[in-house]
Structure 1
Amino acid sequence: MPILSAVLCAFVVAGCSRPDSADQYTTWMNYGGGADQSKYSKLDRIDKSNVSQLSVAWSYATGDNTSYQFNPIIVDTVMYVLAKNSSLVALHAVTGEELWIHANLNGIARRGINYWESKDRSDRRLIFQINDYLQEIDAHTGQSIRTFGKDGLVDLREGLGRDPGTIARAQSGTPGAIFENLIILGASTGEGFLSTPGFLRAYDILTGDLAWTFHTIPQPGEFGYDTWPKDAYKYIGGVNTWGEISLDAERGIAYFPVGSPTYDYYGADRIGANLFGNCLLALDARTGERLWHYQLVHHDLWDYDPSAAPQLVTVNHGGKAIDAVAIATKHGFLFAFDRVTGEPLWPIEERAVPASDLPGEEAWPTQPFPTILPPFARQQMTSADLTPFFLNPDEREEWTRKIDSMQTGLFTPLSHLKATVTQPGAVGGANWGSTAANPATGMVYVRSIDWPSFYGKMIRQEAPDEQAEAAGPGELSGDALYVQYCQACHANDRSGGVGPSLVGLSARMQFNEFHQLVSGGRGEMPALHHLDEEAVQRLYRYLARLDRMSPQRTNDTVEGPVVASGGIPGGLELRKAPNLGSYGGNDFGPPYPAGVEAPSLRYFVPPGWGLEHPYLISPPWSTITAYDLNEGTIKWTRAIGEDKMAAAEGGKNTGVPRAQRNGMIVTATGLLFSTSKDGKIYAFDAETGEQLWAGDLPMGTEGLPSLYRVGGRDYLVVCASTPIRWSIDKGEGDEQEQAGQQGQYVVFSLPENVGQ
């Protein structure tokens, strides 16, 4: 049978037994499983009595050595995955057979895609972001839909109040949310001075027309404008939702975790509370009208932008059933509100916090503290919290001295007089993908990591025309550029950590795309727009030289049932990232717009320390915390995963460091599935936290698993494509062995006739 006919047959055959589309908890047709992002499933074939019998039903090799963070979606008998040089692949969800491949979608948002269908199911679309454009593919055929937008594309750099030619970054790594005939999007904007503003927007799925825009940095006359300097909307960036958007589809309310203003660590050019930065924001999903908001951090100076999906649950509160929304934060708090009115379920106190000693800075004098819900993460680090593992006596003495000389404590601003340790750090606490819930019982689950950030004394930087002549990034060699700008996140051997592996990058990415990535950033990677093109070329050549010395298997030519290739319908030329030039060292950024009132003085976090030492704090490094929001209590907390290096020194229940990109599924049968960075997927008793099963994976995993049913049988799928990094691994042993491996989508199920 021809490939296309086989695909259509698969849809038609499954259509007779497809679950009611109104019940979002029996399908996994969108990122996170459903509109409310609860990662909850009513599928009941797998339960506490048989989960230990799960085994691999089939697997699908990604065909390359890319670390994918992709959440598979399943429609009827078709599973959509990202594999084979960033290609969208349609697989048969029972056998793993390739149905079609839309190849080489380089620059596609990494975490997932959206699915939409018309009421009669004749029109089915896959919707995704790619290279700062919005694009659609026919879910039947894999072909681009040319009637969408302008010849198949919507330019996400337009409509942001800035010259599109100067915008280097506008899309998000997270796919957004579908509501009726709209796709609702956030953005990843970069984190330097004068980054892109993070407006929230909705587009018509059929036409690509802009339906509404919400200005997260208020303009004159808009609510919140008085919480900023008067010209801030002309130059401030960020205040963006780069994480997960949750929807109350019945009420038509969209809930956004809105991120920090930029620059993250110094805000002399944004004095004020800075609405709607660091807010839980509820908007009318049809119009973009603000319904309510709550600011979780005022005038953020710690990169504490929320990104985890707000969880929608019904709770028994004060003797009444209340539809609530709960949001977990990077700094270790869970906040809970009435979903409709925005009233806190329990009092939230504004408490005095330390002032800033940085010239020009005015830290907000108070911050919100929940009074009933306990924090799920440690919120300071002293030398007493040093790990009992790994350090020899000299190293322990050195780190004790360093940490004792540093300032610490929640909401302590960074200083130009002393170094600072923050706990949770900039990637600690709850992150994207790390919340789930049982909507009916009021149970909310939070995955968290204790990962401190170490900051040296803040460095003062004058405007470029006032600088004394000094060595800038344009004068550094490729290896020196890597050490200064890349090593902290990608490791000294390029194997990854905070960021993905860069091994084999030159074979996966041409220079133009690499230049766009470095200039504009992507996901959690900040934009390094102060590096001029010559510096980026030196960095790229350095990485390419290392790749030639240790070649990796790649798939430039995608094999299989390819129906289309590339993300450019009709041969359109994608706009390249602008070359903003070099404005001096330390990412000073471009100049302020002419005529605005803004200080020329800026302070920066110095290179070094940063996120390079996730294991220095004592374990557990990663945990799951179960909250009962009927009572406002923590029901249980447990470590997730086991660190092999710590176990070799006698450690138990350590959790895994660097585990900020994992996800969970909660089931109606009382199970909690969770991925982990140790190469396993776990099943826990959702009531007690007891481990019931662990499934081995060929590699580590990032992103969310999915649960689906075909033909009365339930399946659990997880993407395992990330090399495992233990606490102090330096590219030796397991990690080195995995460096050239292909990832796999691994599908687990019960044996035939079990649970049916």
Structure 2
Amino acid sequence: MAVAAAGGALAAAMAGYFSFGRVSAAESHDHKTWTEYEGSLDSSQYSALKQIDKSNVTHLQQAWFYPAGNNGLLFGFNPVVVGNTMYVIGKNNAIVALDAATGKEIWVHDNDNPRFITHRGISYWQSKDGSDRRLFFGTGYLLHAIDASTGKAIDSFGDHGSVDLRVGLGRDPNSIHQIQSGTPGRVFENLIIMGSATGEEYGSPPGDLRAYDVRTGKLVWTFHTVPHPGEFGYGTWPKDAWKYIGGTNTWAGITIDEKRGIAYFPLGSPTYDFYGADRAGADLFSDCLLALDARAGKYLWHFQAVHHDLWDYDFASSPKLLTIRHNGKKVDVVAQAGKNGFLYVLDRVTGKPIWPIVERPVPPSDVPGEHASPTQPFPTAPPPFARQSFTPNDIDPYIADPAEREKIRKEVADARNLGLFTPPGLTNTIEMPGNGGGANWGASAADPAAGFVYIQSKNAPSMLKLEPKAPRRPLSGSPAIQGRILYLQNCRMCHMSELQGQPPSIPSLINIVPRIGVDRIRSAVTNGLSPMPAFTDLTPGDVDSLITYLTDPSSAQVPPGVLARLKSPPQSEGGAPVRYWTGYGYMDSTDGLPAVRPPWSTLTAYDLNKGTIAWQVPLGEVSRLAAKGITDTGSYWPRGGVAVTAGGLIFAGTKSDSMIRAYDKDTGKVLWEKEMPAAPEGIPAVYEVDGREYLVVCARPGAVLAGSDAGSRQNSEQAPGPDAGASANSSGKAEVQGYYVFALPSGDQSSSH
């Protein structure tokens, strides 16, 4: 299977058909506004504003704060600013318009289904004369359009203001419980181009790419990411795979070359993430960077980073467009960071790698029925940004208990560990970077004209072990016992046997019912809640039994014989194929820190004019360790991403120390840092109103991690600091979840360039 393809004669005709020229990214957008998710259509997370720079960044002060309530899904919204108006998610996951200079509410749009919302950003469109201005966002399985001036639903869009995203996927719409992504679509001309978050469990829907008319909501084009008969790539799957394979979806950001009309889609892994006996082949277009004609959805080229993915190594960050100097010439490129620690750099018109990417042999699978790809693509340049091996010598030296440290060392020593792309097996298998490591959503940014890319990444190993997934059988016993059995069959692999979860990404379910309520649990199980899939085979009665068990786990004493059968299910039942599954396998010690030695997160600067790493530094710290003088560890499990500015700065927030920092983009040196009352989790946005430059970042009280003292501060009933701007709610507690906005004092301001 070729690593990259350009569609044969199509590639040769592309220049004439699209009038492609060598148009630099800097020319297609001036980057002085933040009217799009991630700043602009090129997803650069870059601002050309210079008022805040290296010389004055230490003078930053909080200008205002907007509280956003206790929204469980608000964990990384990237505000959009159009003129003097900022659009955000507010209390109860309402869409809110704010005065971008003061934070004063202009209007609030309440949602009927607020729990499942596009929680990372929003899409904005306006007509050429500016008379029609719209916002697009999703809740549940619906795409909504509202008036950006008033917040009112636009009745002429779709069915009274919304479009059902379940329709048109070739499956029964009523069988689709999870489709809408937390990442917004991308508006291009008069289209809203949509990805999806399908889940990657058995039975998930396909991740078709689709474009809708922004005025009417009518479907304009569809691209099948699992090809149908007769379509390019169909032969890389079993013949009927398009009928049952799901995933292969774009849940990260979509990027568009505005001048050329090319849309770039980072695609995810197919179902099931870690076992693929039912999808033998390279599985196009999974794990691909896919280029389509944005206006028509026609295939242009693809690059596949992982053949027949068995590691959940989906592309989770948006592609970056920039111009570099290569072999003495200016070349427009697209750079895509992966969970596996590689940065892939391709010519954005042809998909040809800028530096050779070679196929190398990788370990085979030892699982019955599995056919792992014998080779995988390895970039020869630039070098990887994340660690790609984990040995007994790499155990975290700060694990407090020597016995636990030795236990983890032995587990690593005994595991199957043949390097990058070791397939998951029936015994413990090391995955490094783990499926939660490397570059995730929002993690990369670019200086488009300078040819630099900056990547926030995690060094986080996983330990995978496949087990046969037990087929459904009749249940017996009390509701609590039935719920316990259902939990072991469906939830244990991720939330663990004793409900303890795998923080910070997979929460503990201990006391979950009083914490979040029955309705929310029922909705999450039925409809999914990323990264948790929807459990479509559970009946309402099953869910009731599961909730009964979660309410009082001690009441569910399952007979030993039943437990034994659950642990050793039959290899097949009724002629049905065996399905294997595994948890995500995050490797943490009991104090909540990674099993691998630090740094646990890094910020890496790439000079793509040379194909080299210019610098790499730890990203943040862990508060408790820093208090003991243990520094340069990097933050644990940062979420969100970074923003780069022409003022020479990189802004980044970290969870485990609740800090927002400004780094020197030329050296990686920390120039400014501010401890926040809540943990920043989003992508910062940089904007200007009336000649004043602002920085805004979303933050919330995060899960309390062992090894961090952030929780006591974040959950305090005391108001956070004199300049925090937090307001008190009806209970008298300070509201710290929301949007923190910084600017220079009035005396330090000068006109930005």
Fold match by TM threshold 0.5: yes
In structure 2, C-alpha distance between the alignment counterparts of 1:733 and 1:252, rounded to whole Å: 50
- In 2, Cα distance between equivalents of 1:221 and 1:357: 33
Aligned with residue 636 of structure 2, among 657, 660, 674: 657
State the match for 1:316 in structure 2.
325
Greater Cα shift, 26-35 or 100-109:
100-109
Report the CA distance between 1:503 and its aligned residue: 10
- Name the structure 2 match of 1:137: 146
State the Cα distance separating 1:528 from its structure 2 match. 3.1
| Partner residue in 2 for 1:13 | none
Q: What letter matches 1:423 in structure 2? A: M
1: distance between equivalents of 2:653 and 2:533? 26
Matches within 5 A, 1:499-648: 499=506, 514-540=521-547, 600-605=577-582, 614-648=593-627
Maintained 8 Å contact 2:288/2:304:
yes
Q: CA deviation at 1:214?
A: 0.4
Matches for 1:450-529 after TM superposition, within 5 Å: 450-456=459-465, 458-461=466-469, 463-464=471-472, 475-477=482-484, 484=492, 487=495, 492=500, 497-499=504-506, 514-529=521-536
Query: 2:62, 2:741 within 8 Å by CA — same for their partners in 1?
Result: yes
Would the aligned equivalents of 2:493 and 2:582 in 1 still touch at CA under 8 Å? no
Secondary structure of residue in 2 paired with 1:351: strand
Matched, 1:61 2:55: no
RMSD between aligned residues: 3.3
| From 678, 684, 696, the counterpart of 1:705 | 684
Change (3 A) 1:497 1:425: same
Q: How far, CA to CA, are the matches of 2:50 and 2:709 in structure 1? A: 43
Q: Distance in 1 between matches of 2:388 and 2:71?
A: 37
Bigger drift between 245-254 and 477-486 goes to: 477-486
Question: Once the two structures are superposed, what CA deviation does each residue of 1:197-254 show, in whole Å capped at 9, x if it has no partner?
Answer: 0000000000000010000000110000000001111101100001111110110001
* 2:211 alignment counterpart: 202
Residues 88-237 of structure 1 correspond to what in structure 2 (within 5 A)?
88-104=95-111, 105-106=113-114, 107-237=116-246
Q: Which SS does the other structure have where 1:683 is aligned?
A: strand
One-letter amino acid matched to 2:63: A
2:86 alignment partner, SS class: strand
State whether structure 2 residue 448 is matched by structure 1 residue 439.
yes
Matched residue, 1:48: 54
- CA spacing shift, 1:41–1:545, aligned 2, 3 Å: farther
- Structure 1 residue 541: Cα displacement: 5.9
Unaligned runs of 5+ residues in structure 2 are 1-25, 554-564, 719-732
Q: Give yes or no for contact 1:383–1:403 (8 Å, CA) kept in 2.
A: yes
Q: Which residue of 2 is the match for residue 748 of structure 1?
A: 742
Q: Aligned partner of 1:287: which letter?
A: A
Cα distance in 2 for residues equivalent to 1:750 and 1:489: 51
Cross-structure match for 1:673: 651
Distance 2:439 2:461 in 1: 13
Amino acid at match of 2:67: A
Q: Is the 8 A contact 1:217 1:276 kept in 2?
A: yes
- Write the distance in 1 (CA, Å) between the matches of 2:339 and 2:468: 27
Look up the match of 1:392.
401
1:74 alignment partner, one of 81, 96, 101:
81
Shift of 1:655: 0.6
Tell me which amino acid in the other structure corresponds to 2:101.
V
Amino acid at match of 2:663: F
The residue that corresponds to 1:565 in the other structure is none
Q: Which moved more, 1:181-190 or 1:725-734?
A: 725-734
Q: Which amino acid aligns with 2:637?
A: R
Say which SS state the counterpart of residue 476 (structure 1) adopts: helix
In 2, are the aligned partners of 1:67 and 1:722 still within 8 Å (CA)? no
Alpha carbons 2:435, 2:584 under 8 Å: kept: no
Change (3 A) 1:356 1:471: farther
TM-fit CA distance, 1:490: 13
Residues in 2 aligned to 1:653 and 1:347: alpha-carbon distance in whole angstroms: 34
User: Who is 1:303 aligned against?
Assistant: 312
**Residues 311 and 648 from structure 1, CA distance in 2 versus in 1: closer, same or farther, beyond 3 angstroms?**
same
Paired residues of 1:313 and 1:438 also in contact (CA < 8 A): yes
Q: Structure 1 residue 650: deviation in Å?
A: 3.5
Counterpart in the other structure of 1:564: none
Query: Are residues 543 and 123 of structure 1, via their aligned partners in 2, closer, same or farther at CA, if it must alter by over 3 Å?
Result: farther
Question: 1:569 corresponds to which residue?
Answer: none
SS of residue in 2 equivalent to 1:681: strand
**1:668-715 per-position Cα deviation (integer Å, ceiling 9, x unaligned):** 121111111121111111111111101221110212111110010001
Query: Contact (CA 8 Å) 1:67, 1:721: kept in 2 or not?
Result: no
The answer to whether the Cα contact below 8 Å between 2:694 and 2:743 also exists between their aligned partners in 1 is yes
Output one character per residue of 1:550-573: Cα deviation in whole Å (capped at 9) or x when no partner: xxxxxxxxxxxxxxxxxxxxxxxx
Aligned counterpart, 2:32: 26
Deviation, structure 1 residue 542: 6.8
Say if 1:608 and 1:751 are closer, same or farther in 2 by CA, change over 3 A: closer
Structure 1 range deviating more: 498-507 or 170-179: 498-507
Q: SS where residue 720 of structure 1 aligns? A: strand
Kindly indicate whether residue 390 of structure 2 is the aligned counterpart of residue 411 of structure 1.
no
Task: Work out whether residues 243 and 309 of structure 1, in 8 Å CA contact, stay in contact via their aligned partners in 2.
Answer: yes
- Please give the alpha-carbon distance, in whole angstroms, between the structure 1 residues aligned to 2:577 and 2:264: 36
Query: AA paired with 1:600?
Result: P
How has the CA–CA distance of structure 1 residues 209 and 501 changed in structure 2, closer, same or farther, with 3 Å as cutoff?
farther
1:366 corresponds to which of 353, 368, 375: 375
Give the unaligned 5+ runs of structure 1.
1-19, 547-583
Report if aligned partners of 1:90, 1:99 keep a CA contact under 8 Å in 2. Answer: yes
In the alignment, what sits opposite 1:271? Answer: 280
* Greater RCO (CA < 8 Å, at least 6 residues apart): 1
User: Are 1:24 and 1:33, in contact at CA under 8 Å, matched by a contact in 2?
Assistant: no
Tell me the CA shift for residue 532 of structure 1. 3.3
Give the aligned residue type for 1:750: L
Aligned-partner Cα distance in 2 for 1:460–1:543: 24
Residue type matched to 2:62 in 1?
A: V
Structure 1 residues 463 and 181: CA distance shift in structure 2, 3 A: same
Question: How far off its partner does 1:533 sit?
Answer: 2.3
- Could you give the per-residue CA deviations for residues 483-539 of structure 1, whole angstroms, max 9, x where no partner exists? 8366469984x8961157989987997755643422232332223334432343355
- Find the counterpart in structure 1 of residue 695 from structure 2: 716
CA deviation map 1:269-323 (0-9, x unaligned): 0000000000010010000001100000000000100111111010000111000
1:425 matched to which residue of 2? 434
TM-score by length of 2: 0.85
Partner of 2:661: 682
Q: How many angstroms apart in 1 are the aligned matches of 2:272 and 2:430?
A: 19
Contact 1:265–1:303 (Cα < 8 Å) also in 2: yes
> Which residue of structure 1 aligns with residue 5 of structure 2?
none
Q: 1: distance between equivalents of 2:100 and 2:710?
A: 35
Q: Per-residue displacement from partner, 1:347-373 (whole Å, max 9, x unpaired)?
A: 001000000000000000000000121
- How many residues are paired up? 688
Decide whether the 8 Å contact of 2:705 with 2:711 is kept in 1. Answer: no
The offset of 1:474, in angstroms, is 7.4
Indicate the SS of the match to 1:85: helix
Query: Are positions 1:327 and 2:305 aligned together?
Result: no
Structure 1 equivalent of residue 728 of structure 2: none
CA deviation string 1:99-124 (max 9, x = no partner)? 11112451211111111111111111
1:302, 1:426 within 8 Å by CA — same for their partners in 2? yes
2:264 is the counterpart of 1:255:
yes
Does 2:373 align with 1:382? no
Post-superposition offset of 1:21: 13
Counterpart position of 2:11: none
